[in-house]
Amino acid sequence: RGIVELRRSFEEYHVVKCLGCDRLSFLRIIQVENIVDEYGDPSPFYFNYPNDQLNEGYSYDFLSADDMSALPVMISELYKEVAKAFNANSDILSGIGLRTLVEAVCINQKITGKNLKERIQNLHKMGLVSKKEEPILDKLRLIGNVSAHQIKSLGMEQLEHALNIVNHIIKSIYILPMLDKKIII
């Protein structure tokens, strides 16, 4: 049993920006001289400030930068705002944002109706969502209504499920058609 002296080989500092939500953070990289991986290569330590897990252990599955580039500007900008609300653990704003994203998709797709419930039904009639997806999207409308009008939240864990639903809808309406155009037979 001995004491191993750890000496730093180098220390680097970077300001980095998330490509999904545009959040800026500070990255510190420390390489310790005698710490290596299984191949003998240096194995640095990475520290991200503010802490990577700002939202109590949740790591949300946001759309990738490539997916975001396929979205109309209005939806992309709104999505970034919703991602910021999630990353800030703002449950009320996250719920309102998800509902607003559904509304934005309807507006962008020129879906008409006297209210969002009717526009969601028309998304199905226009073939943009399946019959099974329609009631799920209506739940997102209700989540946003409860967040906005009753100032209540379902909690970040349930909102994360709702985010995954929004991601699915956005991918099926915007990203899959773009990928389909890239496949040439």
pLDDT band at 57; cut points 50, 70, 90: very low
The pLDDT of residue 51:
56
CB-CB contact of 28 with 11 (8 Å): yes
- Reported as a single tens digit per residue, the pLDDT across 85-112 is 888 888 899 999 999 999 999 999 999 9
Helix (H, G, I), strand (E, B) or coil at 161: helix
> Please, which pLDDT band fits residue 116 given cuts at 50, 70 and 90?
very high
Please tell me the distance from the alpha carbon of residue 8 to that of residue 74, in angstroms, as a whole number.
47
C-beta of residue 68 within 8 angstroms of C-beta of residue 166: no
DSSP state of 171: I
Amino acid 53: pLDDT: 44
Write the CA distances from 51 to 18, 28, 58, 61, 62, integer angstroms: 13, 11, 12, 17, 18
Asked if residue 164 has pLDDT above 80, the reply is: yes
For residue 5, what pLDDT is reported?
Answer: 55
| Mean predicted lDDT score pLDDT of the chain | 83
Given this model, what pLDDT does residue 58 score?
Answer: 52
Mean pLDDT of the region 33-59: 62
* Buried residues in 29-43 as b, exposed as e (16+ CB within 10 A): eeebeeeeeeeeeee
Mean pLDDT of 72-78: 94
74 confidence band (pLDDT: 50, 70, 90): very high
Q: Please state, for a pLDDT cut of 70, what percent of the chain lies above it.
A: 80
Work out the angle at residue 81's Cα, subtended by the Cα atoms of residues 151 and 73, and round it to the nearest 5 degrees: 130
